[in-house]
Chains A and B, each alone.
Chain A
Amino acid sequence: GAGVSQSPRYKVAKRGQDVALRCDPISGHVSLFWYQQALGQGPEFLTYFQNEAQLDKSGLPSDRFFAERPEGSVSTLKIQRTQQEDSAVYLCASTRAGGVTGELFFGEGSRLTVL
């Protein structure tokens, strides 16, 4: 596709439910990043893939958060047993090369609301 695509755009979950958020990066982009953006805040780094390898997951807030990119293209961010503090916009971004040092192309995000 022309840009980074994320789905669903909006997700409402009851506390305790599991959710899965999908990111389809720009075709051919090697690196993929997940960020969490709370209302009125900057994007906070969660995790980073280079092809299918998860090179950095230091930003994942707890073991309830899990991300994968099994074939080096589409990625899924899974949140188990959602809590109210997980409510945020989850942004996915991709870059052509390994790592950044170039433009990050962002998707429009998945807005998660946990009730």
Chain B
Amino acid sequence: QQPVQSPQAVILREGEDAVINCSSSKALYSVHWYRQKHGEAPVFLMILLKGGEQKGHDKISASFNEKKQQSSLYLTASQLSYSGTYFCGTETTSYDKVIFGPGTSLSVIP
């Protein structure tokens, strides 16, 4: 079953922060985050495994609450290059397939 993402779209000015949420009705083993720019391949950002760890990647970080089957992606001090569509993907067991959410469109303007 496809995870749910919110918001559907967000517009930010450079330097502002954003949070993108992902939730599932199923117990999760892992949550993946990818960014896709128009006409390009999705690019891996990070993966969070069962265990509730938080990960960081420059000014982009994420958390995973396995009890609530929820993950959040945090973008701080946004840059123009952050524009794109963000997808969360979920696995219910290890070494399984990833099911992606519908995406969150993020636009950063000067």
Interface string of B4-45 (1 = CB under 8 A from A): 000000000000000000000000011010100000111110
Q: Is the contact region of chain A dominated by helix, strand, or loop, or is it mixed?
A: loop
Which residues does chain B contribute within 8 Å of A103, judged by CB atoms? 44, 47
For the complex formed, measure the closest distance between the CB of A60 and the CB atoms of chain B, giving whole angstroms: 13
Which residues does chain B contribute within 8 Å of A102, judged by CB atoms? 47
Interface positions, chain A 13-58, Cβ under 8 Å from B, are 33, 35, 40-45, 48, 56
Q: Which of A43, A97, A99, A101 contacts B100 (CB 8 A)?
A: A43
Q: Which of B32, B42, B47, B96 has the most CB of A within 10 A?
A: B42
Interface size on B, residues (CB 8 A): 25
Q: Which of B41, B47, B102 contacts A42 (CB 8 A)?
A: B102
Interface positions, chain A 86-110, Cβ under 8 Å from B, are 91, 97-109
Which residues does chain B contribute within 8 Å of A35, judged by CB atoms? 100
Residues of B near any A CB (own CB < 8 A) = 2, 29-30, 32, 34, 40-44, 47, 49, 87, 89, 91, 94-103
Residues of A near any B CB (own CB < 8 A) = 4, 33, 35, 40-45, 48, 56, 91, 97-109
